[in-house]
Chains A and B, each alone.
Chain A
């Protein structure tokens, strides 16, 4: 039976339990300083909020609002044994595996983007069992964050049953609904140690405003035990109070605020810049034939060599950034 066949396929890397016992989850939240206070710091300082071995959730999806600057900083800080989750993982997943900061990514889809084909770097690490790509359906990841945000241990859902995606996972339960008698699947809450989320605007206290697609970021922020916000710009708390309806993440969930202009580059930030397609083409070409050599070259050139995020952007090139910004802002031109 396919289900059994899948269930026998044990992961190469041990499952990390990211569902937390309720009272200890609450205690961790209660122990946080939830006062209205200035949390502005540098990328390097924000790295202190991520400890080796922790579970880190990444906001955005595929090549959109990826917290690239913060992932870049964690790689430079030579973090170890991190595990990650994200709705859909793009090139940041390649860099996480290749830099060695993490060998376990929970996601629904993993490659730069369909037009660039299957990631050769992801293939190298997963096919050689050097790292684990733990595959869940897209909605199940969303509901896991939602359960985490709600403070409940699981959510019921109707997809994944009967598939080998479910058969590969050991922290799932089927149950018979006590009200209708229907078969239903339960997925466990996901409360990450840290969430990294990039936004368009945030005040010094962590009141974050998002434009466009919110992906799973709001539930992720509420579910996490710590949140690092990187932002295109820092605005005043007075600005926030003029349009509180635009605030999507409240300050008391946030632990660090970092101003990182073009903080998603080479990915997109809604309404500010589109993906830097030519840079993404360059990366795909670099890793096509010799994936490991290619990604190592890329890490050396773009992650380790620059002295600062500004220098990284300089390496990418002003022409590419301006072109991406022109395309990004153009949605407000119609």
Chain B
């Protein structure tokens, strides 16, 4: 079986692979969409002790299957939570260092893991004004990041039009030199591969390919040259258990269509 068999959607694959990137016991600051769903999925599979933080001010919720919140600010985000705090307080937990993983989606990413969710084209005269950072800038500035997004050439660009949420900025020591002395991009989970970053240069590197995906295919879907070792490994296909749990959580396919 390869991923071409379409036993699952690309979003479902993305969700399962993202969930696997989380470890039991971690404190995970999850954004809306795939991250929210994948963190909830991880809780129901290998990582029941994952503590989710939502930007709206929720500490340790368990989202109810079939009642996925459309943003991280609704009451649906607060179910079976341990504590509700203000937005400012929950974001300050990142700054104080209580969070293991920041977990976000992305519209556009570059070779250094910088994310753009503000402008397509120049900020002066954009072709598209996107919705903006939300907490993305704070999360990526203050903790270790996992990003989940589909791998397409138009989304994986050499340099983003606008750095909304900083990765390694211009590579090397530029992130640290900017004043961002903690955190940084850790993994980018896509529907084709698991990507990481070179410690020295801050450039994106292939960590593993999904089953049936060739190195060429990953490179073809990327707008810059990826660092890729010839011995790069392969991930395991989503299991029936993982897919069943995921479909139980999102029966209306709000986030996994």
A→B interface (CB under 8 Å): 2, 6, 8-9, 60-64, 87-88, 107-111, 113-116, 118-119, 122-123, 126-127, 133, 135, 137-140, 142-143, 145-146, 157-165, 168, 174, 182-185, 212-219, 268, 270-271, 274-275, 277, 328, 331
Contact = CB atoms under 8 A, between A and B. Distances in A.
Given A62-B71, A109-B133, A110-B132, A331 B79 contact: yes
A134 B249 CA distance: 36
Contact of A163 (B74, B85, B95, B164): B164
17 contacts: A2-B170, A8-B124, A62-B73, A64-B74, A123-B128, A126-B129, A138-B55, A138-B135, A138-B137, A139-B91, A143-B88, A159-B142, A162-B163, A163-B163, A164-B164, A165-B133, A215-B56
Contacts of B73: 60-64, 88, 213, 215
A168 B162 CA distance: 10
Query: Which range holds the interface residue count of chain B?
Result: 35 or more
Contacts of B174: 162
Interface of B: 32-33, 55-58, 70-71, 73-79, 84-88, 91-92, 94-95, 118, 122-124, 126-138, 141-142, 162-166, 169-170, 174-175, 178-182, 254
Contact of B132 (A8, A107, A123, A268): A107
A331 to B, nearest CB: 6
Contacts of A135: 118, 132-133
A142 B92 CA distance: 10
Interface of B is mostly: loop
Contacts of A140: 138
Closest CB pairs A-B (n = 3): A162-B178, A142-B88, A183-B179
Contacts of B130: 118
B112 to A, nearest CB: 11
Contacts of A109: 131-134
Contacts of B124: 8-9
Contacts of A184: 179
A139 B163 contact: no
Contacts of A9: 122-124
A224 to B, nearest CB: 16
Nearest to B68: A115
